[in-house]
Chain A
Amino acid sequence: MSHKNTRAGAPKAKTFTKRRLREWGTGWLFVLPWVIGVSVFFLYAMAQSLSYALSDVRLTNGLTVTYQGFQNFITLFTSDTTFPLALSDFALGLLLQVPIIVAFSLIMALMLSSKIKCRAMFRVLFFLPVIIATGPVMDELTQQGVASVPMVNQAAIQGVLASLPNWLSEPILNLFSSLILILWNSGVQILIFIAGLQKVSPDMREAARIDGASGWEIFWKITIPTVKPMVLLNAVYTIIALSTGGQNAIIQLIYNSMFDSAVGRGYGYAAAMAWTYSLVVALALLLAWLILRDRNKKVVYEKRRVAMKGGYYHGDEKKQA
């Protein structure tokens, strides 16, 4: 029961009010700065951004907001030539890249957790991109043509992909042409998996060995189930990383609409783009959760998930009460 420590001296029923009131007060004081911040910069801003999305926003001496219903969204999907395309490219990119990054990180973590020499050096190397991989740097590298693996023949891949429909072959081609930079996204995930692998209990492996399990069996029956919650965590982390940073065409489109008076349609239109985009990101997160959640061990899983995300598990308490 690792959770019994989490509550500040649970108040007894008789001394209830005074003590609990003080606890409430102190608790609120601690989180107060954030409550103000989140109200202004997140909740209020969300409401504002939603109202922008449903309005025509003009920057003529001050901000004029005229409600116009779903007009921005209609324009977005009927007469915009770039956004729907960029959005579907982004979604397909996520579908392809997230599994690759997560699987790659797991393989790297497994290799880095085995008994090899220079382990520390390898870890430092593979974490390096987290420090240096940023949009402008990756743009420069792409422009110099060093984003893809040097030995891979691009023309050959193009030949193989020629038989596929265009909407599918293009993301795959993108994948190969910037494979290094995509794999560069795996630094944090590798470390998360390594931390997870350390939790695989040596006793359990020893016991399995004595029972005659092979290394292969131990890997599938013990190691993989232990790191399974990390897979979800890493998938979520990867989706967020890919959707907020680096070379993201959609973010650029949103900013263009905000600031570029020549091509932009204003804040309202930008807000509509941002809401559509966030919806896609939310769907991707939901999809990851649906696929990767552990269906069998609901309670254990729920605890882990909540703990991982920094939540607080309430199940036990209800049982005690």
Chain B
Amino acid sequence: MAMKKSRRKRTPLERREHLRKLLLGSNEKQGVLLNIVVYTLLISIAFIFLYPVLYMLSTSLMPKEDLLDTAAKWIPSSIYTKNYTDAMQTMDYWNSLLKNLAIAFFPTLAQVVVCSLVGYGFARYNFPLKSLLMVILMLSFLLPAQLTIMPNYVLFANLGLKGTIWAFIVPAVLGMGFKSALFILIFYNFHRQVPNVLLEAAQIDGTSGFGAYFRIAVPLSLPAVVTVILFSFVWYWNETNLTQVYLGYASSRNNGLTTLLIELQKFETSYEALYSQWDASPNKLNGAIRMAGTMLSILPLLLGYLGLQRYFIESVDKSGITGE
């Protein structure tokens, strides 16, 4: 009612003002023009971001005739799943998947426990050399791991850890796994925000330092624990450069541990060893099979991400990485 009334009374000047507000926005509402611009940009950038993934998905389902046929640029003429079975065989999929899970899971477990302890120690206690240790922590975060990879490789080889899961677990237990420094900093930030009163009360009640940590600090830091578990798992899963070195650079398949991404990296070699590759061979490696292999290598994490997306998106916010 009120709206109608005001519309009847509107002078040309007011009408123009109303239009301006509608298009350009006012204090209360975002303008239509701005909205159009924002949506257009977001949707087109989303398409650009997804373009490689969409291409991967559609190509991986194409029979090889489609690859040359420009008419079938996006939609496969038929769903051709043999690409996937071939790729699975090439990557020794289920076996590699299990090994990959082990490589990502166990170090993550060790890492989250140790980084939480160390982060708490730095946040809650004062002790000699603390500032020096913090500087070293920062340095180990900032400098590329390639700086220390040669001595560590020699060390692992000498200790007989090279190529075993222990090459990942041992550093993680000592707070030096992949990106451990970052995780220690996240826990440090988190534990610092816990009010001291709580912990002091616990200590007056006769709880030891460790008791207070387990009973009060750990339950309060659950969001940080979730963040660290997720990112640690993803990084262990995805880190290929360092993993390759720890596994012994040239180790061949069935000769110990591997990850799906390492299998993807040597896809061509493995494929050519499996299927003969003379010129007219019906089994010649093509883009569709490669894309199926790529798809397979990202699929486990992709599914995990879609299932746990909320925790991933909230994680950065909760990590306290933005300060305060």
Whether A27 lies near B125 (C-beta < 8 A) is yes
A78-86, A95-103, A154-162, A303-311: which one contacts chain B? A303-311
Bound together, the chains give a CA A195 to CA B322 distance in angstroms of: 7
**Distance between Cα atoms of A144 and B53 in the complex (Å):** 12
User: In the complex, are the beta carbons of A140 and B196 less than 8 A apart?
Assistant: no
Using a CB-CB cutoff of 8 Å, which residues 177-211 of chain B contact chain A? 180, 184-186, 188-189, 192-196, 199-200, 209-210
Closest CB in chain A relative to B243 CB, distance in Å: 11
Docked complex Cα distance between A225 and B185 (Å): 25
On chain A, the number of residues with a Cβ less than 8 Å from chain B's Cβ atoms is 108
Name the distance in Å between B169's Cβ and chain A's nearest Cβ.
12
> Which residues in B have their C-beta under 8 angstroms from that of A30?
117-118, 120-122, 124-125, 209, 213
| Bound form: Cα–Cα A244–B35 in Å | 38
Contact: B55 with A41, CB < 8 Å? no
- A33 touching B144 in the complex, CB below 8 Å, given contacts A136-B261, A141-B294, A258-B150: no
CB neighbors of A among B97-140 (8 A): 114, 117-118, 120-128, 130, 133-134, 136-140
B238 to chain A, nearest CB (A): 4
A36 contact set on B, CB distance < 8 A? 174
Q: Known interface pairs A233-B322, A309-B185. Does A132 touch B298 (Cβ–Cβ under 8 Å)? A: yes
Q: Is the CB of A251 within 8 A of B323?
A: no
Nearest CB on A from B290, distance (A): 6
B residues at A contact (CB < 8 Å): 25, 27, 30, 34-35, 38-39, 41-42, 45-46, 48-53, 55-56, 59, 114, 117-118, 120-128, 130, 133-134, 136-155, 171, 173-176, 180, 184-186, 188-189, 192-196, 199-200, 209-210, 213, 234, 238-241, 244-245, 249-250, 261-262, 264-265, 267, 287, 290-291, 293-294, 297-298, 301-302, 305-306, 309, 312-313, 316-317, 321-324
Q: Which residues of A contact B (CB under 8 A)?
A: 2, 5-9, 23-31, 33-38, 40-46, 48-49, 52, 63, 108, 111-112, 114-116, 120, 122-132, 134-137, 139-141, 143-144, 146-147, 149-150, 180-181, 183-184, 188, 191-192, 194-196, 198-199, 209, 215, 229-230, 233, 236, 240, 243-245, 248, 251, 254-255, 258-259, 267, 270-271, 274-275, 277-278, 281-282, 285, 304, 307-312
